Amino acid sequence: MNVLIISPGYPADMPEFTRGLAECGARVIGIGDQGTGALPELVRRSLDEYIQVPSLWNSADVIKQMHAQLRGQAIDRIECLWEPGIMLAAELRQHFGVSGLSIEQAHRFRDKEAMKVALDAAKIRTPKHVAVDSIAGCWEAAEKIGFPLILKPIAGAGSADTYRVDNVDDLRAVLPRLRHVSTVSVEEFVDGEEFTFDTITIGGKIAYYNVAWYRPRPLIARSNEWISPQVIALRNVDQPDLADGIRMGYEVIRALEFDTGFTHMEWYRKADGEVVFGEIGARPPGAHQVDQMKYACDFDVFRAWGQAVTQGRIDQEIERLYNVAIIFKRARGVGRISRIEGVDRLQQQFGQHVVWNTLLQPGTPRRDWQKTLVSDGFVMLRHPDLQQTLAMADAVGTDLQLYAE
């Protein structure tokens, strides 16, 4: 099987997905705007062919380059696991007659308004919402829906350019920050805890799913520098308070007609138990949450995805063994990391449970916490017991500190 993967070297986990395809016997063709020498070694080992294009965002030129370099080779699958390339993948599928998400289907995953309209028609609870393309439209939507509100790009990813607006003064202050966004989704603010529902789906049927819990919800974490955000992949997904959210996840996959591949959905559980849809992408979550799934079940999730898209099955036995926490750290101060406090004591306390530590070392420039969730590194740890996992995660959040100067 010839599989084309868009941008095999970026973002950070794309090399592992490329490997997953190759190890399942696919002949993997990469296409991207990185030079061959800039591709990670794992990508170069996994690719059978690479098509370098000046830009991935000129689809007509991408198609021309593909015809020139493929020289009549058939393409069986076209895969993209990076949010900005989802529509490009759909356009290429249409041009080359390859099965998978169509342009219409992909649009419902990229456009938050079209997404919610489709789910409204399927009787799935979504926040009240209006898409607007002007300041006047924002004011009209605010009057229609009522405060508090959430404003976000209809084609955004994660919580970038997303704002909570509690009153008229907040709205007046936020609108100038969204001038670069062509169309904004104005939504009801849903007050509740936030979770994910991540799937590997085969032929419309969910073969594997993961539920993760955001502590706190991303909007709060992205608004307060002092917070060490946590994502907890849950071992016990059969607990009653998750049941309605998981059921909704299955309904969303059906309503949006997703066929085969990875999805990443976010949903809310309100204090009264009501569950509300957030959004969904036709790709995996970022910020190393796929690695988190790997450590939760001790399985090669990248290869499982590769087998799902190339062979229509997953042979690996998947057992939920651990709760896994990622704790993202943000240094105090500006400049270069000068010291890390608390890491030795915490390592002595529960180092056996730490599976990954990417904290920036002294001398490294501090990252801009507003531009990357990974911030100044993270600690990933796991434990079969949820309360023990949360206690360790909270200790990392409060007792481990990075300083910059």
Instruction: Show pLDDT as tens, one digit a residue, over the chain (405 residues).
Output: 999 999 999 999 999 999 999 999 999 999 999 999 999 999 999 999 999 999 999 999 999 999 999 998 999 999 999 999 999 999 999 999 999 999 999 999 999 889 999 999 999 999 999 999 999 999 999 999 999 999 989 876 656 788 999 999 999 999 999 989 999 999 999 999 999 999 999 999 999 999 999 999 998 998 899 999 999 999 999 999 999 999 999 999 999 999 999 999 999 999 999 999 999 999 999 999 999 999 999 999 999 999 999 999 999 999 999 999 999 999 999 999 999 999 999 999 999 999 999 999 999 999 999 888 899 999 999 999 999 999 999 999 999 999 999
Beta-bridge partner residues of 29: 4, 49
Report pLDDT for 371.
Answer: 87
Residue in this structure with the two tokens 């006047």, named with its chain if needed: 136
Distance CA 311, CA 21 (A): 10
DSSP 8-state symbol, 38: G
Q: Which residues of 283-299 are buried (b: 16+ CB within 10 A; e: fewer)?
A: bbbbbbbbbbbbbbbeb
In three-state secondary structure terms, 375 is coil
What backbone torsions phi and psi does residue 13 show, to the nearest 5 degrees? -95, 0
Q: How many residues does the chain have?
A: 405
CA distance 225 to 169: 23
- Tokens 């507003």 belong to residue: 370
Residue with tokens 């206690």: 391
- If you ran DSSP here, which 8-state letter would residue 97 be given? T
Quote the crossing angle between the two packed helices 240-255 and 112-121, to the nearest 10°: 100
CA dihedral angle for residue 272, residue 273, residue 277, residue 282, rounded to 10 degrees: 150
What is the predicted pLDDT for the residue at 288?
Answer: 96
Which sign does the torsion angle of CA 324, 321, 17, 95 carry?
negative
At residue 37, the pLDDT reads 95
**Tokens found for residue 38:** 């800039």
The per-residue pLDDT of the chain, averaged, comes to 96
CA distance 94 to 71: 18
Cα-based torsion angle of the residue sequence 129, 132, 138, 139 in order, rounded to the nearest 10 degrees: -90
Q: Considering the entire predicted model, what is its pTM?
A: 0.92
Side chain identity at residue 298, one-letter code: D
Q: What is the maximal distance between C-alpha atoms in the chain?
A: 60
> Contact at 8 Å (CB) between 227 and 401?
no
Element spanning 103, H or E? helix 103-110
Q: Where are the alpha helices (DSSP H) in 97-238?
A: 103-110, 112-121, 135-145, 168-174, 218-221
Tell whether omega for the bond before 11 is within 30 degrees of 0, i.e. cis: yes
d(CA 39, CA 35): 7
**Residue carrying structure tokens 């993270």:** 378
